[in-house]
């Protein structure tokens, strides 16, 4: 039978172990932060340290090459230095097909940065469709077509061709997804009246700035400095609504494809959605 002194010592020791476990967990979390995109599901190379994720087991250890190239990029693509063919032949249906009676904004056909995301996330094209393949002389404007470069894939949610399967494959029917290509706040702010009042006042008013003669919009979050566009703000993308440029919500408004998971900030979200903070950044509810 243990004496109360021994029990006390045991309790203290258990606490010490628990405390060091907290320190260790914090250290591991700290390392994940420093690792950046390398430690996310968007590292499709053999260098991805995460077990049980979609990645190539033979192909390349590079990370950025699945999306960007320093040279020979597709200049028609809506994302910078884009290294993938945009999906061909996917007939998207949008949220507009639901005829929601409460929508105020104009909804455009799928376009802008969303097309870049869907070049993997509609599941119709191999994720190793790469225009300028790693190494020299690997340029092919088709990126290898819908079956890509024939890399060997490992992972639970990818088929033998390298096409995404599972919940992250949104498919071509986008009517069950948050609207994209949707005019922000029902219109109001546009190229003619950048600070115009929102038609639908159930929205946080967007900020704007002119950068390199281009007018850009975003919704400030509490994640950064007010009045300055940062990756933790909800980016709005410029598209033409009825012939006048205005701000549009796209995949990249809510997601930063490079954002590592930090605490409750998961799924490449620009800010944590704890307490629905992400939704409330735009919607006044």
Please answer whether residues 257 and 250 qualify as being in contact, where contact means their C-beta atoms are separated by less than 8 angstroms. Answer: no
Q: 194 or 216, CB closer to ligand HEC?
A: 216
Decide whether 90 or 168 has the Cβ nearer to ligand HEC. Answer: 168
Return the half-sphere exposure (C-beta side, CA atoms, 13 A cut-off) of residue 272. Answer: 9
CB of 26 to ligand HEC, least distance (A): 21
Exposure string (b/e) for 6-35, b if CB count within 10 Å is 16 or more?
eeeeeeeeeeeeeeeeeeeeeeeeeebeee
| CA-based R_g, the chain, Å | 23
Burial class of 105 by CB neighbour count within 10 A (0 to 12, 13 to 18, 19+): buried
Least Å distance, CB 18 to ligand HEC, is 28
Contact partners, residue 276, CB within 8 Å, separation at least 6? none
Give CA angle at 198 (196, 204), nearest 5°. Answer: 115
* Shortest spacing between CB 13 and ligand HEC, in angstroms: 37
* CB nearer ligand HEC, residue 168 or residue 191: 168
Nearer Cβ to ligand HEC (155/194): 155
Residues, the chain: 285
Q: How many CB atoms lie within 10 A of CB 140?
A: 15
* Among 165, 133, 160, 135, CA closest to 68: 133
- Shortest distance (Å) from residue 179 CB to ligand HEC: 5
CB of 38 to ligand HEC, least distance (A): 7
Least Å from the CB of residue 165 to ligand HEC: 8
Interacting residues toward ligand HEC by CB under 6 A: 37, 41-42, 44, 53-54, 63-64, 66-68, 79-80, 100, 102-105, 113-114, 116-121, 127, 157, 164, 166-168, 170, 177-180, 182, 184-186, 200, 219, 231, 234-235, 249, 251-255, 257-258, 266-269, 273, 278-279, 281-283
CB nearer to ligand HEC: give 44 or 131: 44
Q: Which is nearer to ligand HEC, 12 or 88 (CB)?
A: 88
């Amino acid at each position: 039978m243990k004496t109360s002194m021994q029990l006390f010592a045991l309790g203290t020791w258990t606490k010490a172990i628990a405390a060091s476990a907290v320190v260790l967990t914090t250290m591991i979390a700290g390392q994940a932060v420093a690792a950046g995109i390398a430690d996310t599901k968007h590292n499709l190379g053999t260098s991805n340290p995460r077990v049980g994720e979609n990645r190539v087991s033979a192909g390349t250890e590079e990370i950025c090459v699945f999306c960007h190239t320093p040279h020979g990029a597709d200049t028609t693509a809506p994302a910078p230095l884009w290294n993938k063919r945009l999906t061909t032949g996917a007939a998207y249906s949008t949220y507009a097909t639901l005829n929601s009676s409460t929508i105020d904004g104009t909804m455009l056909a799928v376009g802008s940065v969303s097309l870049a995301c869907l070049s993997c996330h509609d599941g119709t094209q191999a994720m190793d469709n790469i225009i300028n393949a790693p190494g020299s002389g690997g340029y092919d404007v088709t990126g290898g077509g819908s079956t890509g470069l024939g890399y060997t894939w490992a992972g639970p949610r990818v088929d033998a061709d390298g096409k995404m399967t599972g919940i992250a494959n949104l498919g071509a029917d986008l009517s069950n997804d948050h609207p994209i290509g949707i005019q922000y706040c029902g219109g109001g702010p546009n190229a003619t009246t950048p600070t115009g009042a929102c038609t639908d006042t159930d929205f946080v008013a967007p900020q704007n700035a002119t950068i390199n003669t281009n007018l850009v919009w975003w919704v400030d979050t509490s994640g950064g400095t007010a009045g300055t566009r940062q990756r933790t703000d909800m980016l709005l993308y410029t598209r033409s609504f009825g012939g006048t440029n205005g701000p549009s919500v796209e995949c990249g408004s809510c997601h930063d494809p490079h954002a590592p998971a930090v605490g409750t900030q998961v799924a490449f979200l620009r800010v944590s959605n704890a307490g629905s903070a992400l939704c409330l950044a735009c919607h006044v509810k």
